[in-house]
Amino acid sequence: MANALVSGGVRSWYTRAASGRWTVPAFIIVWTVVVIVPLFLLLLYSFLETKGFKVVWDPSFHTWDRFFETGRWTVAMRTLRIAIGMTVIELVLAFPFALWLAKGCRSQGLKAILLTLLTIPFFLDLSSRTIIWRALLGSNGVVNTVLMELGITSEPVEWLIFTEFSVFFGLAAPYFATMVFPIFLVATLIDDEYLDASRDLGANPLQTLFLVIVPLCLPGVIAGVVFTMVPMMGEWVVPQLMGGGKVNMIGRSTEDALSTLNYPTAASLSAFVLAILVALLAALTLLTRRRGGVAGLFEALKL
Amino acid sequence: MSAADAHAGRRLGRAQRLRLWEHAVYAPIWRPLAAWIGLVLIVLTYIPLVWLVVMSFSDRPLSGIPHPLTLRWYDELFATSAWIEPMTDSLWLALAVGVCCVLISVPVGRAIPRLRRRGGVLLITLLPLFVPGLTMGAALFLFIRSYMHFKLGMWSVFVGHMVWALPFAFLLVIVLATRFDHRLLEAAEDLGASAWQRFWQIEFPIMRPGIVGAGLFGFILSFNELLRSIFLRGTETTMPIYTWAQASSHQSNVPIIFGLASLIFGVTLPIIGTFFWILFSRTDRGR
């Protein structure tokens, strides 16, 4: 009886959702309220000021002026440097790997295993995974102990942890998959006939790589840059745990600003990240336009 | 094997295709180099996981050396109860997020590929994928707390998690819905199937990986979410916030979270591992 009621309820709910034309518009309205409005508000707040712990409605560039003058600019530039540097490193590492995974991996089983291994860590908490590097790389850690036992160094190597190097190192593995997947997806869609045609027309391997494969992979590369660089700019756990408070990035500054109720400053820091995101998304849209935009990528996945 | 595959197979054999790629990307260097890069990074990803579990049995976990072995930290873990409330809160929250992800992403996600102009809708729907957690957390915080003057609590964490997890659910559902052949539904309608029968007997079985995945993504993404929760939590504590608070403070509690994290990995790893293994090996057979 109860079962029939439940299934009847589900049934009528489903039939209405499927037949009604309101499903998507209704969702978009709610989504706009919880996603777009807060993001606009964030931009707006960055043009306001706090007076006596209250946000005052008095639009000005004051917060932005201070953003460029104070230490926040240093933090923003360090964040940008680490994010861009690490993204370039990931791109260099991920591009050949993604191509190989898409087209060169002979065994389907191995491919599925590698894809699974790359996906899993994304779902695991980053802070407990990162804290362990301290025990491995610290001055009494395993690496230094081994190095000293082997007589390679007499003193512990200090730059392994709590430096900008260690922040780079800590970011390398968590952000590899975000670069691999978009490139992998786009590379699987490349029609092998193009390579055949390119060779028939007398192109050498380098020409085929740079004139055929790379341009065809470009949307994937840009998507990979978006997925890797943008979250990295908001990264907080790794710089905190691997940098030991010495390598502050925007994340830490935002949290500090929010906890001292300095909302406009927090907003301007986040808006800075947002501006970079918008620029990258615009580039992505322009590059995929010829293939029918972002939606075209989904169409292509039909195969 | 689909018709398209048979067609491609006729044009170029598998081995032939492979040779084409090897020729184009300098086979002698490419193959070993690419494989090694992947191997090194995957090892770098899993060393902390393995070592975390090993260290949870070590007497001096912070030294990074697994000697002497002990169960002391697990004893301490079960002796304290501070982590139980965040754990149960997180589980309920993750369950709610998972269920809501399915309930929203399936009806909306299957409708999106049928829209005439879907570029804009897709971009808005998937936008939170690109926004760093911190930025989204700060934006929602300003909106809810400073602008709307609502009291923060579990509900605002839930909103933050939905904004994070739902786009992933959509990603799965939309990919499957795009691949879905609508002529099947038309044929069923011609044969007199009701709307419910068309959904339950045709669309649902085909969409099942997407539906299961949407729920699973929602659950696991929510269970591990930190950056948004920190801003939206008010006075509540979820499991990742608890772990983070312990990990970032220089206290003796750190060894306990090694044990705790190991237990969580022990539960989550097999579930997602199996799911993705099935997903990826099926997809490959389809190609």
Residue A241: burial class (beta carbons within 10 Å; 0-12, 13-18, 19+): buried
* Domain contains B73: no
Residues of B in contact with A295 (CB under 8 A): 118-119, 122
**pTM for the whole structure:** 0.82
Mean pLDDT of chain B, nearest integer: 83
For residue B4, is pLDDT > 60? no
From the candidates B106, B142, B268, which should be mutated to test the interface with A, based on the most A CB atoms within 10 A?
B142
Q: Return the pLDDT at B9.
A: 46
Q: Is B273 helix (H, G, I), strand (E, B) or coil?
A: helix
* Domain contains A280: yes
Name the band, by pLDDT with cuts 50, 70 and 90, for residue B229. very high
Q: Which of the 8 DSSP states describes residue B69?
A: B
* Domain contains B14: no
CB contact under 8 A, B63 and A196: no
Mean pLDDT on A121-139 = 83
* Domain contains A81: yes
Q: pLDDT above 70 covers what percent of chain B?
A: 91
Which tokens in the block code for residue B98?
């998972």
Residues of A in contact with B123 (CB under 8 A): 281, 285, 294
The domain that contains A264 carries what CATH number?
1.10.3720.10
Q: Return the pLDDT at A303.
A: 36
* Domain contains A259: yes
Which tokens in the block code for residue A265?
């400053």
* Domain contains A106: yes
What ipTM, to 2 d.p.? 0.81
* Domain contains A65: no
Residues of A in contact with B24 (CB under 8 A): 195, 198-199, 205, 208-209, 212-213
Q: Return the pLDDT at B35.
A: 87
CB contact under 8 A, B196 and A14: yes
Long-range contacts of A203-208 (CB under 8 A, 24+ apart): A205/B23, A205/B24, A205/B25, A205/B26, A206/B26, A208/B23, A208/B24
* Domain contains B146: yes
Top pLDDT among A62 and B252 is at: A62
Pick from B17, B125, B132: CB nearest A192: B17
From the candidates A34, A39, A46, A128, which should be mutated to test the interface with B, based on the most B CB atoms within 10 A?
A128
Report the number of distinct structural domains present in chain B.
Answer: 1
Residues of A in contact with B129 (CB under 8 A): 227
- Nearest-CA neighbor of A24 among B162, B204, B172, B118? B118
Which tokens in the block code for residue B244?
């983070």
* A217: containing domain: 73-300
Chain A stretch 261-300, residues whose beta carbon is closer than 8 A to a beta carbon of chain B: 263, 266-267, 270, 273-274, 277, 281, 285, 293-295, 298-299
Residues of A in contact with B143 (CB under 8 A): 37-38, 41
A148: phi > 0 → left, psi -120 to 50 → alpha, else beta; which? alpha
- Nearest-CA neighbor of A163 among A242, A80, A258, A61? A242
Q: Which of the 8 DSSP states describes residue B202?
A: I
* Domain contains A203: yes
Give B22-81 pLDDT, tens digit per residue.
777 766 677 788 889 999 999 999 999 898 888 888 887 777 777 778 888 888 888 888
Report the number of distinct structural domains present in chain A.
Answer: 1
CA A249 to the chain's CA centroid = 15
Most distant CA pair in chain B, distance: 72
For residue A6, is pLDDT > 70? no
3-state secondary structure chain A: CHHHHHHHHHHHHHHHHHHCCCHHHHHHHHHHHHHHHHHHHHHHHCCCEEECCEEECCCCCHHHHHHHHCHHHHHHHHHHHHHHHHHHHHHHHHHHHHHHHHHHCCCHHHHHHHHHHHHHHHHCCHHHHHHHHHHHHCCCCHHHHHHHHCCCCCCCCHHHCCCHHHHHHHHHCCCHHHHHHHHHHHHHCCCHHHHHHHHHCCCCHHHHHHHHHHHHHHHHHHHHHHHHHHHHHCCCHHHHHHHCCCCCCHHHHHHHHHHCCCHHHHHHHHHHHHHHHHHHHHHHHHHHHHHCHHHHHHHHCCC
* B149: containing domain: 82-286
The domain that contains B149 carries what CATH number?
1.10.3720.10
Q: Which of the 8 DSSP states describes residue B64?
A: T
CB contact under 8 A, A120 and B37: no
Q: Which of A137-146, B197-206, B247-256 has the lowest mean pLDDT?
A: B247-256
Q: Does A119 touch chain B (CB under 8 A)?
A: yes
